[in-house]
Amino acid sequence: MRVATFLFWSLGVEYLKALMEAGHEVVSVVTMPLESRDKLPPDYSVEEFADSNFLPVYKPSLNKVNTPEFVAVIKQLKPDMILACHFPRILCPEILNIPPLGCVNAHPSLLPKDRGMFPIFMPVVRRERTAGLTMHFLDPGMDTGAIIAQESVELDEAETGLGITNKLTAAGGRMIREVLPLLEQGKAPRVPQNNEEATYFNWSTKKHARVDWARSSVEIDALVRALGGLYGGAYSFLGKRRIRIHAARIPFEHIAEIGRYGVPGQVVARSGYGYLVRTGDGVIEISDMCFEDGMTPTIDEVLGSSSLSTVFS
């Protein structure tokens, strides 16, 4: 089977492995470069895996994916099927209509919940104990196509963005290996989604990754765990400079009493692990943060010219 792929992230690598193991011909790997600030493990790179296995890589600008010129490129490849995962563009009908066996996508939620862009870490942010992955056929809508398979995974109480990513990647690997033979035979299930149960989430770094210090320590801790070290980190501002927060924790109860002082976002003390910052209901301990250029802030930059004066915004 000739397969054109539109892939990104660790699950994209897992899908390429499954296709190659099954002896299918990967005629394209359409992807985009990783951002260096995301600090991703090397085996998350679809491009690196494709290059090392001599697979043809395409990296069109995202605004050119659905242009007639790139549609013509995919048509010339004559794919039997298109396989997509974590690709941040809805494919146009002209592309969807090319492969006779259809177009299949992997979405990191239990559809129809959390349709939309990149909701993979939201179960951690919402402090949920389960997450899921859905394989479905693509149609012109946003994650509205018929469901092929789904799998749920259990989350730990202190789950991280890396942890949920690894669990869903493993689930996706199992799923694609089970479903590939059915897709090749044109016998994969097609279960319509219940649109009345649909919810939506579209990731926006500006909107969702910025720390709201007026929120509770538990909520801020969950956001940092979800984004720290993997998705670029939650962020705030120290003066006029953006600062990324990669690790935090809720301190012991007797330390949390310090949270009675100051205003949300204010650095109220230095600790053995980092800095205690006032939240909406106490304090949180920030142990790993850096400016956009990767430099770690100095004590003076965090505490200010007079002790305890600095406020994150």
What CATH number is attached to the domain comprising 173? 3.40.50.170
Is there a single domain that holds both residue 17 and residue 157?
A: yes
Q: In this structure, are 126 and 56 located in the same domain? A: yes
pLDDT above 80 (res 49): yes
What pLDDT sits at residue 37? 42
The total number of residues written for the chain in this structure: 313
Q: Supply the range of the domain harboring residue 169.
A: 2-197
> What pTM does this model have?
0.90
Among residues 197, 223, 242, which one ends one of the domains?
Answer: 197
Tens digits of per-residue pLDDT, 255-287? Answer: 556 656 788 999 888 887 889 899 998 899 999
Domain count, the chain: 2
CATH number for the domain spanning 233: value is: 3.10.25.10
The residue out of 197, 222, 255 marking a domain boundary is: 197
In a domain, 178, yes or no: yes
Mean pLDDT of 87-111: 96
pLDDT at 305: 54
Same domain, yes or no, for 41 and 177? yes
Q: Are residues 163 and 40 in the same domain?
A: yes
Together in a domain, 254 and 173: no
* pLDDT reported for residue 262: 80
Q: Is the per-residue pLDDT at 164 higher than 80?
A: yes
Q: In this predicted model, what pLDDT tens digit does every residue of 208-232 receive, in sequence order?
A: 899 999 999 999 999 999 997 677 7
Kindly state whether residue 308 falls inside one of the protein's structural domains.
no
65/98 same-domain check:
yes
